[in-house]
């Protein structure tokens, strides 16, 4: 158990309370990283006299980190290429050189990026911080297992960032770690966090309102990749099923037949495919059931190109939320009208 650390006075009170709760819940997770024996997300030495060197994994996390960092002279590298299956991504040898220079590595955790985590564990400096955000903020007792992530497989559903309230916890933890690592920029981190939290809260409230425009019995999700388990709990939606099995191979004909029956019985209004995981099987189910098939959902591939207005965590979430709400017959007007622009320039380098 890591010892509680003093929360910097530059942090708002709500974050200080949140931070103390998280620290109390933290458990060690070192994998022998080049002499690193600290607990998950624990900061050892601070960075002084130069910009912080930050590595992140999937693009939504990279975006959240970049929005906290802002213009502080830090270097941010997102290791997992956008549009890649992050569950099976194997980092290239060149990633080791990036990790060797890192002051902090922000990962999702919950067994999402194990090859990247393994590479980091033997390449980061002994002073570096390894921070698995999802593993830190969510107790194991609250991990969800489902269609693509069965409990017997030992890998929980890791997609916490599709739930805005959990993404906010990620952002708060990132700000806390960066403030302890680089206290001279604490005021900037605090201001950037507040601006980001304002957008997250606005998105969350608009999604709550949009959900109310869909009848309870119509809040049904059938997707290819099961990325919305925590989202569904938060908003009161029902995940009918997911096509992709835990092996990431194609489902069996029996699996497909069961889903076709389920779609017909429950009157599922739309079937959602993934841009990253194109699925002719979902299209087949749509044709056989007469259900609309939409294949544009994004799991961790941000809209547009790096530097563009919508290329952000909030741009990704709004795109998906609008797509789902309107396909299910709801009103996404409030979601469309939100200001989801970046409060600070995104200085991160995203892999492609």
Q: For the chain, what is the mean pLDDT?
A: 87
Mean pLDDT of 3-21: 37
Looking at the structure, tell me whether residues 61 and 169 fall in a common domain. Answer: yes
The reported pLDDT for the residue numbered 148 is 79
135 touches 109 (CB < 8 A): yes
Q: What is the pLDDT of residues 126-163, one digit of tens each?
A: 999 999 999 999 999 999 998 778 888 889 999 999 99
Q: Extract the tokens encoding 74.
A: 């830090």
Asked if residue 64 is part of any domain, the answer here is yes
Both 251 and 174 in one domain: the answer is no
Per-residue confidence (pLDDT) for residue 226, from 0 to 100: 85
Shared domain for 65 and 42, answered yes or no, is: yes
Which of the two residues, 10 and 301, has the higher pLDDT score? 301
Q: 3-state DSSP helix/strand/coil percent for the chain, to nearest 5?
A: 45, 10, 45
Quick one: pLDDT at residue 246? 67
How many other CB atoms are there within 10 angstroms of residue 242's CB atom?
25
| Banded model confidence at residue 351, pLDDT cuts 50, 70, 90 | confident
Q: Give the per-residue pLDDT at 118.
A: 92
192 shares a domain with 46: yes
Neighbours of 222 (CB within 10 A): 27
Q: What is d(CA 323, CA 319) in angstroms, rounded to the nearest whole number?
A: 6
Least confident of 40-49, 249-258, 329-338: 249-258
- Sequence-separated (6 or more) residues with CB below 8 Å from residue 185: 72, 178, 179
* Residue pair 175/193 in contact by the 8 Å Cβ criterion: yes
The CA distance from 326 to 62, in Å, is 28
Task: Report yes or no on 29 lying in a domain.
Answer: no
Beta-bridge mates of residue 232: none
For residue 323, the model assigns a pLDDT of 97
Of the chain, the percentage scoring pLDDT greater than 70 comes to 88
79 — pLDDT class (breaks 50, 70, 90)? very high
Number of domains in the chain: 2
> Measuring CA to CA, how many Å separate 296 from each of 29, 178, 273, 287, 304?
36, 34, 6, 17, 13
Classify residue 300: in a domain, yes or no. yes
The pLDDT assigned to 24 comes to 39
Q: Report if residue 30 sits inside a domain.
A: no
* pLDDT, tens digit, 9 for 90 and up, residues 197-244: 999 999 999 999 999 999 999 999 988 878 999 999 999 999 988 876
Which of 38-52, 97-111, 248-262, 279-293 is least confident?
248-262
Question: 176 and 227 in one domain?
Answer: no
pLDDT at position 241 is 83
119 plus 238 within the same structural domain = no
Q: Which distant-in-sequence residues (6+ apart) come within 8 Å of 102 by Cβ?
A: 53, 54, 55, 120, 124, 125, 128
- Please check whether residues 287 and 183 belong to one and the same domain: no
Own/partner pairs, 14-20, CB within 8 angstroms, 24+ separation: 15/172, 15/175, 15/176, 15/193, 18/169, 18/172, 19/172, 19/173, 19/176
Q: Does the structure show a pLDDT above 80 at 32?
A: no
- The predicted structure's pLDDT at residue 37: 64
Residues 253, 321, single domain; the answer is yes
236 and 91 co-located in one domain: no
> How high is the pLDDT of residue 258?
85
Q: Provide the CATH number for the domain around residue 272.
A: 3.40.50.1980
- Give the up-direction half-sphere exposure of residue 15: CA atoms within 13 A in the CB hemisphere: 25
Contacts of 99 (CB under 8 A, 6+ apart): 55, 105, 119, 120, 123, 124
In terms of domains, do 249 and 329 share one? Answer: yes
Show the domain range for 299: 214-336
Q: Does residue 38 carry a pLDDT above 90?
A: no
pLDDT (0 to 100) of residue 18 = 43
> What is the mean pLDDT of the segment spanning 5-15?
36
Q: Quick check: 108 and 156 in contact, CB under 8 A?
A: no
User: Does 248 score more than 80 pLDDT?
Assistant: no
Query: Model confidence over 279-300: pLDDT tens digits?
Result: 788 888 899 999 999 988 988 8
119/45 same-domain check: yes
Residue 179: both structure tokens together: 């403030």
Is 90 exceeded by the pLDDT of residue 176? yes
Q: Tokens at residue 6, please?
A: 């003093």
Does 164 score more than 60 pLDDT? yes
Residue 202 contacts residue 338 (beta carbons within 8 Å): yes
In the structure, what pLDDT confidence band is assigned to residue 19 with cuts at 50, 70 and 90?
very low
Distance CA 347, CA 74 (A): 8
Is there a contact between 302 and 82 (Cβ–Cβ < 8 Å)?
A: yes
- Please, which pLDDT band fits residue 84 given cuts at 50, 70 and 90? confident
Closest alpha carbon to 224 in 161, 283, 274, 157: 274
pLDDT surpasses 70 at 4: no
> Per the domain annotation, does 329 fall within a domain?
yes
Is residue 28 included in any domain, yes or no?
no
Q: What is the mean pLDDT of residues 79-102?
A: 91
Note whether residue 22 is domain-resident: no
- Within a domain: residue 209? no
Whether 157 contacts 229, CB under 8 Å: yes
Tokens of 307: 């530097």
Both 171 and 234 in one domain: the answer is no
């Amino acid at each position: 158990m890591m010892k509680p650390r003093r929360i910097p006075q530059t942090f708002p009170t709500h974050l200080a309370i949140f931070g103390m709760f998280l620290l109390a819940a933290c458990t060690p997770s070192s994998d022998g990283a080049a002499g690193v024996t600290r607990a998950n997300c624990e900061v050892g030495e601070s960075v002084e006299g130069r910009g912080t060197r930050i590595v992140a994994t999937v693009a939504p996390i990279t975006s959240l980190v970049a929005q906290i960092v802002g213009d502080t002279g830090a270097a941010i590298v997102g290791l997992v290429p956008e549009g890649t299956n992050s569950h099976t991504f194997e980092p290239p040898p060149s990633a080791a050189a990036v990790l060797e220079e890192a002051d902090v590595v922000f990962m999702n955790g919950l067994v999402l990026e194990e090859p990247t985590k393994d590479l980091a564990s033997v390449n980061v400096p002994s002073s570096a911080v390894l921070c698995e955000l999802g593993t830190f903020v969510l107790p194991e007792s609250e991990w969800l297992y489902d269609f693509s992530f069965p409990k017997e497989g030992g890998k929980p559903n890791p997609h916490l960032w599709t739930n805005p309230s959990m993404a906010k916890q990620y952002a708060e933890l990132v700000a806390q770690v960066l403030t302890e690592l680089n206290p001279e920029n604490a005021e900037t981190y605090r201001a950037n966090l507040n601006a980001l939290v304002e957008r997250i809260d606005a998105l969350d409230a608009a999604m709550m309102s949009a959900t109310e425009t869909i009848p309870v019995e119509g809040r049904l999700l059938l997707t290819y990749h099961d990325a919305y388990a925590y989202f569904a709990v938060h908003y009161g939606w029902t995940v009918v099923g997911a096509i992709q099995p835990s092996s990431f191979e194609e489902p069996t004909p029996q699996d497909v037949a069961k889903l076709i029956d389920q779609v017909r019985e429950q009157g599922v209004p739309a079937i959602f495919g993934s841009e990253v995981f194109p699925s002719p099987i979902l299209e087949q189910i749509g044709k056989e059931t007469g259900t609309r098939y939409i294949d544009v959902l994004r799991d961790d591939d941000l809209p547009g190109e790096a530097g563009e207005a919508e290329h952000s965590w909030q741009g990704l979430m709004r795109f998906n939320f609008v797509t789902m709400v309107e396909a299910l017959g709801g009103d996404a007007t409030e979601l469309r009208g939100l200001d989801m622009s970046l409060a600070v320039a995104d200085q991160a380098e995203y892999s492609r």
